Amino acid sequence: MYILFIVLMIVLFIVTSSSFAYQYYIDPISLVILLLVAIPVLISTGLMKDFNNAFKLGLSKKKEGTIREVKRAIEAVALFQKVIITTGIVAFFLSAILVVIQKPRYEILMPSIAVALVAPLYAGVMALILQPLEVSLKLRLQDMLHE
């Protein structure tokens, strides 16, 4: 279901864009920066194992895991979403500041700002992809509490 969601988002984006050029949206450095901040935060809080466990608990059809594991998985996913969005915003502002400090010509300014916007775009997409996982974990927790 998640793969279908991702594919539909990509198709929707391609259809609504008049001149879609995927190479403009690929910036591995932004992705690395986002993950280099988010993953250590999960590790330092002790929620990395729970974040990995969230996928197993949220995507499986079997009723497995304890209430404590589900609660910790919800916290890990919520923390990852918050950290990734905050990191995307900070990365954008840092990139924009660096671009403006260099005092580029107008022809260079707009593409540079566009590249800086890729980090918050990646952050938003990651948070959007994780949102259904968080909801399914919360529903599983409610089912476990009512049993």
Q: Cα–Cα distance between 90 and 83 in angstroms, integer?
A: 10
Q: Please, what's the b/e burial string for 46-59 (b: 16 or more CB within 10 A of its CB; e: otherwise)? A: ebbebbebbeebbe
Q: Cα–Cα distance between 18 and 28 in angstroms, integer?
A: 24
Q: Which pLDDT score is estimated for 112?
A: 82
Q: Which pLDDT score is estimated for 93?
A: 94
Q: Cα–Cα distance between 38 and 33 in angstroms, integer?
A: 9
Q: Which pLDDT score is estimated for 146?
A: 87
pLDDT tens for each residue of the chain, 147 residues long? 566 767 777 777 666 666 666 666 778 888 899 999 999 999 999 999 999 999 999 888 777 889 999 999 999 999 999 999 999 999 999 988 988 888 778 778 888 888 889 899 899 989 988 998 999 999 999 988 887
Q: Which amino acid is at 90?
A: V
Q: What are phi and psi of 20, to 5 degrees?
A: -75, 125
Q: In whole angstroms, how far apart are CA 49 and each of 1, 31, 119, 125?
A: 23, 21, 25, 22
